[in-house]
Amino acid sequence: MADIRNVFISHVHEDDAGLKKLKDLLSPKGIAIRDSSIHTGKFNDAKDPNYIKSGILAPAIKWAGVFICYVSPQTKNSDYVNWEIEYAAKQGKRIIGVWAHGEKECDLPTALTEYADAVVGWNGDSIIDAINGKDSWEKPDGESYDKVGIKRHPCS
């Protein structure tokens, strides 16, 4: 039986296809992801940013046990991605960055560099280790690198 995890996967909509790839990568390793993030198959028509954050994203992040940021070149500049990371940190969530499949290396979202517990490459074992509590920083190819700065703990 698969280990079922409630996860919020922060991403930009251009990367929706990568969410399925991520779930498919983990499934044969015994992890089934229940994803509360908003994506093409679970889209909404809300327009008000405050409502989107407080009425849609916040409850989905609160529900999740783990927060994953799917890192691609577009995530760095997304106000929503950075807000989601900061909100997850305020909720005390474990925050993991996962480099997009095939990513060569791009800038990380600012909030991810401040609050991430781990950033790992596209490797199922590394992702599972990060979900299970291993703090590690990897480049997209899995090579280790030192995290810049210190982990910040947000005030509630």
pLDDT at position 112: 96
Q: Residues 101-130: what's their mean pLDDT?
A: 94
As a whole number of angstroms, the distance between CA 49 and CA 132 comes to 32
Q: Residues 29-48: what's their mean pLDDT?
A: 74
Q: Is 147 helix (H, G, I), strand (E, B) or coil?
A: coil
List alpha helices for 5-100, DSSP H.
16-26, 49-51, 58-63, 79-90
As a whole number of angstroms, the distance between CA 18 and CA 137 comes to 21
pLDDT in tens, 40-50: 655 566 678 88
pLDDT at position 3: 85
pLDDT exceeding 70 applies to what percent of the chain? 87
pLDDT at position 140: 92
Helical pair 124-131 and 16-26, crossing angle rounded to 10 deg: 90
Out of 3.40.50.720, 3.40.50.2000, 3.40.50.1820, 3.40.50.450, the CATH code matching 3-37+46-131 is 3.40.50.450
pTM higher than 0.95, yes or no? no
As a whole number of angstroms, the distance between CA 64 and CA 74 comes to 23
Which amino acid belongs to residue 66?
A: V
Q: Residues 96-116: what's their mean pLDDT?
A: 94
Domain residue spans of the chain: 3-37+46-131
As a whole number of angstroms, the distance between CA 147 and CA 116 comes to 10
31 pLDDT tier (thresholds 50, 70, 90): confident
